[in-house]
Structure formats: structure tokens, C-alpha cells
Structure 1
Amino acid sequence: MKPTPTPADPDAWNAYLAEGNAKQARKRVAADVLLRDSSGSVLLVNPTYKPGWDLPGGMAEANEPPEETVVRELREELGLDVVVRGLLVVDWVAPHGPWDDQIAFIFDGGTIDVEGKLKPHDKELSEARFVDLAEAGGLLRDRMRRRLTEAVRALREGRTVYLHDGQAPPD
């Protein structure tokens, strides 16, 4: 059996680490943002590629930090420059349908004032609008509705919430 390389041989050591890295599981990462207007309504978007409304954000690119994902996605899709103010939710989403598991983040984007200037900038969204929390609950799919509820609670309580599929993990 061949001995395990050590840091004393940097080329062999890095090749050994790269081989191990290639065998490890990869996680899909989604990052959304909770943006509010001055009345407390939340911004929702209507994606063209899946049913139901969603919080603004999207999927991270390779080696992209989740908070940068939010900034990039909102700039690309809505022409908005947001400042991430903190982490509200981390949600582990179990494998479902054809999808492997995923880690979903919701960040606090604070309050913005766009007064009617809000419109999609690419074909991934058909609509974007501020809605009150009661209306949001009727537009969102179950997991996202639960995640939004927890994000609002996290914002109110000043702490980050960890979830499994939008709910508190089992004890």
C-alpha cells in the first residue's frame, strides 16, 4: 500500500487532497432575500420556470458565497442593488423529485423604496411586487411560506433560524 502524501511534498499533498475533494458530496445552494417596503409588505417575484411565487434570489454559482448570490441575482433579475444586512434563515431541504438536497439561505435586505419602478429585467421573472404577509401566504408554496414565516420571526427576534424543509428540525 502506497503511503499517504504529507505536506512536506506539496504537489503530492495537493493531488491527494484534490482527489478527496472530488469524491465528497456537493450541495446545491439557494439564497433569497427578505426585502420590505415602508409599510412592511414583502417583495415577491413570480418565476416563469416553476409554479408559484417566490422570494427574490436564486441559485449560487460555483464557489459563490450565498450573500453574493443574492446581490447578483437581484441586480440581474430586477436591476436592484441590495445591501445584505444579516442572515435570517438556513434551511436544509431534503432530496425531492429529481433534486438532491439543498441548503437555502434567507438574508435580510432591509427596507427599500422603489415606488412603481420595480419590473423584471430578464425572462426568468414575469412579475415582482410588494404584498402584505397575509397575501404572501396565499401566493407561496408550502415550504417557502414556512420559510418566510420563520424569516419574519428571525428578524423580529434578532436571531438566525435553522430549519429542515421550512420547519424546526426534530429533536
Structure 2
Amino acid sequence: MRPTPADPDAWNAYLAEGNATQARKRVAADVLLRDPAGNVLLVNPTYKPGWDLPGGMAEANEAPDDAARRELKEEIGLDVTLHGLLVVDWVPPHGPWDDQIAFIFDGGTLNRDHAVALAPHDKELSEMTFVPPHRASAWLRDRLSRRFEAALAATADGHPRFLHDGRPAAADW
């Protein structure tokens, strides 16, 4: 017989068993940051090839927006106020990786002094630079490039994008 909420200990044990069998998703949380000229910040990670948006992976039980802010603080020493969600992208399994949910948040525009002073703060980044938006896609891997382009479109029209592997999830959204 299945426990009921009338027996809290048995009910919580039952729910914990169900929770243990549920799928887990990896969560990536990046931030689109701009300088006063409208250029976007790209970072060069030391642990994988290619350029990336600033951000990283969420830790267990960490909200995506909290992960984005934590990663920016750790990697570039920046406390950022997020201005909204730009992209949610479901990334299918690839290579050795299970699927993941990737977010891009709007970090707004840094003032000139903050933009000029940015530098890597840990060994995960070798360098960073601001790049004109129309050139940034060429610096990014294909999947991230598509996600980045969707983030730019979302900043232009104020409508977040829901993607599957960097492509619109449904034409009627």
C-alpha cells in the first residue's frame, strides 16, 4: 500500500525514493554583457577549446540565475545584476554528455570603467575581450553561436527564446 501524507515520515520516504529515480539535468548559465559601445564580452576558457560567453555550470540545487552570478564573480570578479532571461535552450545528448538546459541572462551594459577593468580572476579563463555583436558568432562554437544569436534577438524585441539545440523549439511561440 502506498503511503499518504497522513504519515509524514512514510510519505517523505516514498517521495525521496521517487526523487532518486528521476532524471537529472545539467544546467549551464551564461550572461550576455555589453560595453558602452555595444560590444559583447567573450571569454576564452582554459579547460575546453574555443571562446564562450561568461558563465558556467550550476552546482547541485543552485538556481540558474544564482549560478550565473556566482560564475561571473568567481571568473571575472564582477557582481552583476541580471536584467532578465534571454534564452532557454534544451541541448540533446552529445558525445559523452547527457542532455542539459542552457540559460542566457541579460547582464546589461557595463560602464566604461568596469568594462576596461575586467580581467580573468581564476585559472578557468586565459583571456577575455569585447567583440562587436556581428562578429561574435564567428568566435563561438555552432551550438553556442545559435544560442547567442537568439539572445541578441531577445534583447532587440524583449521576448525570451525557447530553443532545442540552438534552434527555435516551435514556430508558433
TM-score by length of 1: 0.96
Alignment of 1:35-74 (within 5 A): 35-74=33-72
Matched to 1:127, the amino acid is: E
In the alignment, which residue of structure 2 is the partner of 1:124?
A: 124
- The Cα offsets for residues 12-37 of structure 1, whole Å up to 9 and x where unpaired, read as 00000000000000000000001111
In the alignment, which residue of structure 2 is the partner of 1:159?
A: 159
Residue 155 to residue 6, structure 1, CA distance change in 2 (3 Å): same
Matched to 1:27, the amino acid is: K
In the alignment, which residue of structure 2 is the partner of 1:99?
A: 97
Matched to 1:31, the amino acid is: A
Query: Distance in 2 between the 1:23 and 1:56 partners?
Result: 33
In the alignment, which residue of structure 1 is the partner of 2:73?
A: 75
1:127: Cα distance to partner? 0.5
Query: Distance in 2 between the 1:62 and 1:115 partners?
Result: 31
In the alignment, which residue of structure 2 is the partner of 1:11?
A: 9
Matched to 1:89, the amino acid is: V
Query: Distance in 2 between the 1:134 and 1:115 partners?
Result: 19
Match of 1:85 among 83, 86, 109: 83
Query: Distance in 1 between the 2:6 and 2:137 partners?
Result: 57
Query: Distance in 2 between the 1:18 and 1:151 partners?
Result: 37
Does the Cα contact within 8 Å between 2:35 and 2:115 map onto a contact in 1?
A: no
Query: Distance in 2 between the 1:55 and 1:115 partners?
Result: 15
Does the residue aligned with 2:155 lie in a helix, a strand or coil? helix
1:170: Cα distance to partner? 5.5
- The Cα offsets for residues 23-61 of structure 1, whole Å up to 9 and x where unpaired, read as 000000000001111111000000011111000000000
Query: Distance in 2 between the 1:108 and 1:38 partners?
Result: 15
- The Cα offsets for residues 56-86 of structure 1, whole Å up to 9 and x where unpaired, read as 0000001000000011000000000100110
Query: Distance in 1 between the 2:163 and 2:2 partners?
Result: 39
Does the residue aligned with 2:116 lie in a helix, a strand or coil? coil
Match of 1:112 among 110, 113, 116: 110
Name the % identity: 69
Does the residue aligned with 1:151 lie in a helix, a strand or coil? helix
Does the residue aligned with 2:167 lie in a helix, a strand or coil? coil
1:138: Cα distance to partner? 1.7
Matched to 2:89, the amino acid is: D
Query: Following TM superposition, where does structure 1 have runs of at least 4 consecutive aligned residues deviating by more than 4 angstroms?
Result: none
